[in-house]
Amino acid sequence: MGGLELSNQRFIWIVRRPIDSNACGSYFGGDRENNPVEYLPEGFLERTKEVGLVVPSWGPQVAVLSHLSTSGFLTHCGWNSVLESISHGVPMIAWPLYTEQGMNAWFLEEEIGVAVKPIRVEQRSLVRREEIARVVRLVMEGRP
């Protein structure tokens, strides 16, 4: 979130609340209401309200990707998301999470050049906010 804010780019962020730290917990929703104030950094929504829109839970991905003002898409690189993004000509920030998504991300970046991957710290899942800001600016403005 810090990297998105640091990038100074306009955004729409469709986000689900975290359930717990494992994959199943983040995939399967619970009974609680999805309130971004509960899990986003304090003040994030207020600081970004002029440039960003946070949509809790679900959003119409194809409608967002097909909108003329959409300039980039941060994606987990699932095949449906990849096809939807490519078919609408939207460049991607590749953030693979599971199984074939890593291979998809590699192919998108290295073979067809429609995505960039943020550099992770020491091959872990940690990505510094400055790196997120860099790839967001690169995709949105063509500059790091």
Pick from 76, 55, 56, 75: which is nearest to 65 by CA?
A: 75
CB-CB contact of 114 with 106 (8 Å): no
For residues 116 and 73, give the distance between their C-alpha atoms in angstroms, rounded to a whole number: 10
Consecutive H or E run containing 144: none
For residues 110 and 112, give the distance between their C-alpha atoms in angstroms, rounded to a whole number: 6
Which pTM does this prediction carry? 0.83
Q: Look at residue 18 and give its three-state secondary structure.
A: coil
For residues 52 and 100, give the distance between their C-alpha atoms in angstroms, rounded to a whole number: 31
What are the structural domains, with CATH classification, of the chain? 2-14+58-141 (3.40.50.2000)
For residues 85 and 80, give the distance between their C-alpha atoms in angstroms, rounded to a whole number: 9
pLDDT at 32: 60
Tens of pLDDT along the chain (144 residues) come to 789 999 999 999 998 777 665 555 445 555 566 777 788 888 999 999 999 999 988 889 999 999 999 999 999 999 999 999 999 999 999 999 888 999 999 999 999 999 999 988 876 678 899 999 999 999 999 876
Report residue 12: phi and psi, to 5°: -120, 130
What are 80's two structure tokens?
Answer: 């449906």
What are 141's two structure tokens?
Answer: 């403005």
pLDDT at 124: 67
